[in-house]
Amino acid sequence: MPYRVVHYINQFFGQVGGEDKADTQPFIKEGVVGPGMALKGALGQDAVIVATVICGDGYFNENLETAKAEVLSMVERYSPDIFIAGPAFNAGRYGVACGAICKEVKEKLGIPVITGMYPENPGVDLYKKDAYVVKTSDSAAGMRKAVPLMANLAIKLLKGEAIGSPDEDSYIERGIRKNVFKNELGAKRAVDMLVAKLSGAEFTTEYPMPAFDRVTPNPPIKDMSNAKVALVTSGGIVPKGNPDKIESSSASKYGRYSIAGVEALTADTYETAHGGYDPVYANADPNRVLPVDVMRELEKEGVIGKLYDYYYATVGNGTSVANAMKYAQAIAKDLIADGVQAVILTST
């Protein structure tokens, strides 16, 4: 009897629609949909995808508790032996949804759970301990490489075979420590590693240091009524026409735009360049993403001292962590040089 698999995908891969359908509530279809076709092929005779749950990324992320419960009850009905979500590649909301639903299914149904993501997907750090996250490339172009890896890992888990190291089985390291026996004494292995390091030869650490990069919070503003506050956004709000041509995804730049004398953003003068959310609402009223109108009022009322004359914008859709860091460092430098004392950063 083949193992039973339930697959979870978002509205885009579920053939429902793009960002405009991100609010799709979960529903279930028998058999395979979209990437499930590839997964089916890769699983071969050992397992069959009995059903596919499709849910909008926006709906899931904005209604975490209800969405998890709804999806779980759908999954449960099909008595799966294993649950597979995605792959989500670098799509942030999709990755968070896949991770969250995997964790829920694992905890409530006690079955193995697998998903696939690009290492920079925020879903990775949040859920790598709860689900096996197969390492994928950063876009759906990598579907054909990702699916067989996920299928192989799935079969191993179903058959109860030993799961190898992250490298061997292509998943992202989970930070889980497992005691193993090695043939050589630890002392000898350590000395061998040291000798290799000193002589410039290659070596592999047995314990990679985790990268905890938390920054201590800065002290609060004491006198807001005299403070200069700046607005920054990753929601892609730009002057109409996107003069700097900030990309809708994987932004290679950020913009600095003057709002001196601007009372409020309007649909005629501004727009969003962000391709990762439904732009309708932001284009109709850009203040919904960059609240210039309210900040201007508060400035007039004396709640804040001054709204900085410039705002900074980029598109936070699949932007690499390295680039985001670079932009923010440059932006912060400018702000400090101009006497800005606090920042409100809005994201979608």
Partner 1 sequence: MDLEIQQRVKDMAEKYGPENVIVILGSSEAEAAGLAAETVSNGDPTYAGPLAGISLGLAVYHILEPEVKAEIDPTVYDNEVGMMEMVLDVEEISKEVSSIREQFSNI
Partner 2 sequence: MVKEIERAGLPVVHICTIVPISLTVGANRIVPAVAIPHPLGNPALSKEEEKSVRRNLVLKALKALQTPVDDQTVFE
Which residues contact partner 2 (rule: CB under 8 A)? 19, 22, 58, 61-62, 92-93, 96, 122, 125-126, 213-215, 217-222, 224, 229, 232, 234-235, 277-282, 284-285, 287-289, 291, 293-295, 297-298, 303-304, 314, 316, 324-325, 327-329, 331-333, 335-336, 340-348
Identify what 188 binds: partner 1, partner 2, none; CB under 5 to 8 Å per kind: none
- The CB-side HSE value for 87 (13 A sphere, CA atoms) comes to 30
Q: ∠196-197-203 over CA atoms, to 5°?
A: 65
Which window, 97-105, 141-149, 259-267, 315-323, contacts partner 1 (CB under 8 A)?
A: 141-149
37 binds partner 1 (CB under 8 A): yes
- Return the CA Rg of the chain: 24
289 binds partner 1 (CB under 8 A): no
Structure tokens at 111: 């079955």
Q: Where are the alpha helices (DSSP H) in the chain?
A: 36-43, 57-62, 64-76, 92-109, 122-127, 143-159, 166-169, 186-198, 280-284, 292-301, 321-337
Q: Distance from first CA to last CA of the chain, Å, rounded?
A: 46
- Beta bridge mates, 228: 306
What mask, x for binding partner 1 by CB under 8 A, covers residues 247 to 266? --------------------
Q: Return the axis-axis angle of helices 92-109 and 64-76, rounded to nearest 10°.
A: 50
Identify what 278 binds: partner 1, partner 2, none; CB under 5 to 8 Å per kind: partner 2
Identify the residue among 140, 155, 324, 345 touching partner 1 (CB under 8 A).
Answer: 140
What mask, x for binding partner 1 by CB under 8 A, covers residues 5 to 34? -------xx-x--x---------------x
The distance of closest approach from Cβ of residue 151 to partner 2 in the complex, given in angstroms and rounded to an integer, is 28
The distance of closest approach from Cβ of residue 19 to partner 1 in the complex, given in angstroms and rounded to an integer, is 12
Identify what 333 binds: partner 1, partner 2, none; CB under 5 to 8 Å per kind: partner 2
Identify what 281 binds: partner 1, partner 2, none; CB under 5 to 8 Å per kind: partner 2
Identify what 262 binds: partner 1, partner 2, none; CB under 5 to 8 Å per kind: none
Structure tokens at 95: 């990755």
Cis check: omega of the bond before 166, within 30 degrees of 0: no
38 binds partner 1 (CB under 8 A): yes
Identify the residue among 77, 144, 188, 197 touching partner 1 (CB under 8 A).
Answer: 144
Contact 155, 135 (CB under 8 A): no
CB of 47 or CB of 259, closer to partner 2: 259
Q: Is 132 helix (H, G, I), strand (E, B) or coil?
A: strand
Identify what 308 binds: partner 1, partner 2, none; CB under 5 to 8 Å per kind: none
Three-state SS for 265-280 is CCCCCEEECCCCCCCH
Q: How, if at all, do strands 132-135 and 342-346 pair? A: unpaired
Amino acid code (one letter) for 305: G
Size of the site for partner 1 (CB under 8 A): 13
The distance of closest approach from Cβ of residue 34 to partner 1 in the complex, given in angstroms and rounded to an integer, is 5
Q: Which residues contact 30 (CB under 8 A, 6 or more apart)?
A: 50, 51, 52
Q: Is 141 helix (H, G, I), strand (E, B) or coil?
A: helix
Identify what 12 binds: partner 1, partner 2, none; CB under 5 to 8 Å per kind: partner 1
Chain residues that interact with partner 1, rule: CB under 8 A: 12-13, 15, 18, 34-38, 140-141, 143-144
